[in-house]
Amino acid sequence: MKSTTVNVQNIYSFNVQNIKGKIVELSAYKNKVVLIVNTASECGFTPQYKELEQLYNNYKEKGFEILAFPSNDFGKQEPLAGKNLQNFCELHFRISFPLFEKVIVTGHRAIPLFQFLSTKSLNGKVNMSPKWNFQKYLINRKGEVVDYFFPFTRPTSASISKAIERLI
């Protein structure tokens, strides 16, 4: 019987655009534990921005990053973009973690990063597309997807903290 190996890649091969329009190579996050989250400003889960900031502050000195990707995919709950979105996040939640341009995170039009995050044949581990705003994907120091958390899982939950601590 012939075995086939999946060519598992990592997030480091992707480039994305930050909220200010600058291209960011995700290889800049090598050797960091990363939580990637699709966000929205008019969602019932929007208060999670505050908890994401708490989580970020708890672990950033240990090599942890949060990358927020606003999306209008669910209920059209992200009407803002660019400077307006950045101002909203800074003013209401004082976020200091990186915020990226609004993107598509589901379906065949999803950006390549989210196709990778949600497709096991691409990432080798997880087969779960975002189900709503504030779905979270945990990435290890090698840039590999290791877990995901549904939108209702609060960023300050024990399950997320324990998973981060195992990787840090």
Active-site residues, by number, are 43
Residue reference for tokens 């012939």: 2
- Cβ-based neighbour number of residue 51 at 10 Å: 17
Q: Greatest CA span in the chain, whole angstroms?
A: 59
Residue reference for tokens 């004082």: 94
- Cβ-based neighbour number of residue 131 at 10 Å: 13
Spatial neighbors of 36 by CB under 8 A, at least 6 apart, are 11, 66, 67, 69, 113, 117, 136, 137, 139
Q: How many helices (H) and strands (E) does the chain have?
A: 5, 6
**SS3 (DSSP) at 135:** coil
Q: Which two tokens mark 44?
A: 């019932």
